[in-house]
Structure 1
Amino acid sequence: MDREQVLAYRIAAQGLHRTESDAAKLAVFDLGVQSTQRDTALVALAARCTDIDESFVDDPRFVLAWTHRGAPHFHRTGDLAAVTRALIPLDETDAMARMQWQRKQVEAAGMSATDGLFTAARAIRDVVGEPMTKGAVSTAVTKMIPAGLSYWCRGCHATHILEQVMRLAAIHGGVRLEAGVNPATLAPIEGRGRMRTKPDPAAATAVVSAYLRLHGPARPAEAAGFVGTTTNLAKAMWPDELAEISVDGRKLSLPSADLALLENPPEPDVVRLLPPWDPFLQSRDRAVLVPDKARQKEVWKIIGNPGALLADGEIAGVWRTKGSGRKRLDFTITVFDALPAPARRAAEAEAERVAKVRGFADVRVSWA
């Protein structure tokens, strides 16, 4: 098989043909929908649901929490307990890998990453009994944890708990994020039970299975990138009942149950404006999504990702917006290659859809 067939499969598997009216039934919630920037999750759902509006953030069927890689994700409320179990590190190597950019600080803390994670989780659980701003939680928790798990912040002129430790620990402390609230506010998860510290390999494997369903066919290294662990540990989480696929000479895996869709996916004849951190853009094999390295740098920035224009099975460009109060939303769409007129009209219709769900009455589209 080739990459075009893989992309057609992912477009279908992730619901981008927009045939579902109920957001809770979208397959992308099997992993969660990242919400790193204002309205990104809402726009991701607008690309997939026939009917969605801004009330999504207040829907009790969904909950926002720091989960995969410490990033904020919306999950189905009923799935959150399983997600929490999946986030318990399998061993110390796993715990340290999940610390990502703050591994060196955790290594210097004088305790294991596992102990540091759950020490912070217990402190967060004790502190957050009602909604509190992130800053207030950080201040209170920092006083309760070993000094090695905190750092001096020059900007604030204060000592804070390590950011990644706080993000990874919060869910284990039974704490979520308040959706649609600024500044970031933490609150206790309704009905939170006792804190679990024992690894749950089956729950971890379920996350990898979901990754393969939505972003496959793939290798352990790509699943590891999404989870935030090592390739060897992703292999330990590797599910059974997989089909081996050859894609452009690479041996990849896909759940056997999804093989029929890969073999005969619907035509990827859709045009969508995907927000930054959209599930489709979360595949760790970026060269499959965007083969050209220069274009990859346009889609995935170090700071300030744009949205991506999906047209007829390919990432065809990027887009950004600028709001004029709450009246008009201005779009600038930059295409990589000439775009046919029907695709341009479809993109402009998608811009109107995005503006509507974000609460803007008017829209203006500029092409570059």
Structure 2
Amino acid sequence: MTELSVEQIRRFRLAVHHLDRVYANADIPAVVGACGMQNSPPGAWETALFNRVPGCSQAEMERLLYEEKVLLQAWSMRGAPLVFPASESRTFLSALIAGEGEPWIYTQGIALALDYLQMDFEALLEQMVQVMPQLDGRLILSKTALDQTIADWMLPFLPEEKRELWNQPSMYGSPDKQTVGGAAVSFLLRPCAYLGLVVFGERYGISPTFTSYKTWMGHELRADHHEAASTLVRKYLHCYGPATPDMFVTWLGCSRKQGRRMWELAAQDMEPVSVLGKRAFILSADRDQFGLPGELSRELLLLGGHDPFLDQRDWFILQPDKSLHKQIWKLVTNPGAIVCRGEIIGVWTGKKSGNRGLEFKMTLWAERGRAIRQELEQLAVEYAAFRGKELAGIVVEEPR
């Protein structure tokens, strides 16, 4: 069994994540389609694309997403908003449809509402699927409004004794803004997204809009979730291999049963390798690329905190020192990562300063010298310009 080194894995992943060199605007569908780009917090996908295609402006990104609709945003893996090529909707949506006896992704939290309503998950989802066509031809501003609008549509279809409970204040933390029904709808929107019933529209200020897939794309999503699931597994292994089924389950945010079912659909395309003495899998088609690393023309990167490259589940590849992992991967919002040749060597944050400025704070975990500080400042200047800002200040902390 082939033994792969940490260095080989880093170089391979930099290349397949399109971080080995600067890519052109014409490459955007392939770049975004590698494994999708999370857009939580809002704007995360723009930072990720900028790091791969720095020549693409924010205006151009919005044009591809909102006007040309080459790209599409919808809830996908882990229930998070994801931007991906519209042509690959089945891979990033239909693939996630739960099989018989499998819980749907991101729906575990609905249990509180179901217990209160004394209702069955599948029955409630079926009712919601029946009313979702009312979203055709509509554009609803804000997630709160979407939840409550659909909850109102569902009300007449509920048993009469459930309707008063449905309209009670939510038990999930925003009782002044959300009803129990709105909370239930919020969880059920993920399955509806995978079924091609709801997508994100254009963003207005701080609020997203929502409509149906049919309205946004002009046609319904034709699902073939078995083939789509096999494709998604291959995408995952291409971007994150060597990997294991459990790592895939965590990345997808699905049940172990669903993840292993999907994994098996692409098993014939995999082969085992050894990483630090442990067994993992790669795509057989990628074998030669691990042994022949391409040229690396970009050694230093300022990645956003939720960049796809940081979604590697074997964190020791990115940073061998486990004591530093909690500084990189937080429970809520991650800082940005300073990456050198595939290793995270520090973290960074940026905050607005006045109307036109961005201030950066960077923390390096080892002394790197003046040259790298100058390069970090240049990267900060370029990122600030991409965001339409000037560099208002930069602090780089190194150990003494």
State how far apart, in whole Å, the 1-side matches of 2:171 and 2:90 are.
Answer: 34
Aligned residues: 365
Moved more, 216-225 or 176-185: 176-185
Partner of 2:368: 339
Instruction: Label 1:330 to 1:57 Cα distance change in 2 as closer, same or farther (>3 A).
Output: same
Moved more, 175-184 or 63-72: 175-184
The percent of aligned pairs where both chains have the same amino acid is 25
User: For residue 125 of structure 1, what is the amino acid of its counterpart?
Assistant: P
Question: Equivalences for 1:50-89 in 2 at 5 Å?
Answer: 50-55=54-59, 56-59=61-64, 60=68, 61-89=70-98
The answer on 1:167 being equivalent to 2:190 is: yes
Listed as ranges, the gaps of 5+ residues in structure 1 are none
Instruction: Label 1:122 to 1:317 Cα distance change in 2 as closer, same or farther (>3 A).
Output: farther
Partner of 1:246: 274
Instruction: Label 1:298 to 1:124 Cα distance change in 2 as closer, same or farther (>3 A).
Output: farther
User: For residue 41 of structure 1, what is the amino acid of its counterpart?
Assistant: W
State how far apart, in whole Å, the 2-side matches of 1:318 and 1:210 are.
Answer: 28
3-state SS of the aligned residue for 1:304?
A: coil
CA contact (8 A) 2:201 2:211 kept: yes
Moved more, 271-280 or 200-209: 200-209
State how far apart, in whole Å, the 2-side matches of 1:17 and 1:289 are.
Answer: 15
Could you report, residue by residue, the CA deviation over 1:288-310 in whole angstroms, capped at 9, with x for unpaired residues?
32333331111111122111111
CA contact (8 A) 2:93 2:193 kept: no
Instruction: Label 1:342 to 1:257 Cα distance change in 2 as closer, same or farther (>3 A).
Output: farther
3-state SS of the aligned residue for 2:248?
A: helix
User: For residue 190 of structure 2, what is the amino acid of its counterpart?
Assistant: R
CA contact (8 A) 1:28 1:214 kept: no
User: How far did 1:13 drift?
Assistant: 1.0
User: For residue 16 of structure 1, what is the amino acid of its counterpart?
Assistant: L
The answer on 1:177 being equivalent to 2:172 is: no
Partner of 1:45: 49
The answer on 1:135 being equivalent to 2:160 is: no
CA contact (8 A) 2:32 2:49 kept: no
3-state SS of the aligned residue for 2:102?
A: helix
User: How far did 1:180 drift?
Assistant: 3.7
State how far apart, in whole Å, the 1-side matches of 2:191 and 2:316 are.
Answer: 29
User: For residue 184 of structure 1, what is the amino acid of its counterpart?
Assistant: P
State how far apart, in whole Å, the 2-side matches of 1:173 and 1:244 are.
Answer: 35
Determine which of 128, 134, 153 is the counterpart of 1:126: 134
Question: Equivalences for 1:90-169 in 2 at 5 Å?
Answer: 90-95=99-104, 98-99=105-106, 101-102=108-109, 104-105=111-112, 108=115, 113-127=121-135, 129-133=137-141, 134-143=143-152, 144=154, 151-157=170-176, 158-159=178-179, 160-162=182-184, 163-169=186-192
Between structure 1 and structure 2, the one with the greater Rg is: 2
Partner of 2:286: 258
Determine which of 317, 328, 336 is the counterpart of 1:288: 317
Listed as ranges, the gaps of 5+ residues in structure 2 are none
State how far apart, in whole Å, the 1-side matches of 2:21 and 2:365 are.
Answer: 25
Instruction: Label 1:265 to 1:12 Cα distance change in 2 as closer, same or farther (>3 A).
Output: same
User: How far did 1:315 drift?
Assistant: 0.4
Moved more, 335-344 or 269-278: 335-344
List, as ranges, runs of 4+ consecutive aligned residues in structure 1 with deviation greater than 6 Å.
Answer: none
Partner of 2:245: 220
State how far apart, in whole Å, the 2-side matches of 1:287 and 1:119 are.
Answer: 45
Partner of 1:187: 211
Could you report, residue by residue, the CA deviation over 1:9-38 in whole angstroms, capped at 9, with x for unpaired residues?
111110102332025243442321001023
State how far apart, in whole Å, the 2-side matches of 1:247 and 1:194 are.
Answer: 43
CA contact (8 A) 1:124 1:137 kept: no
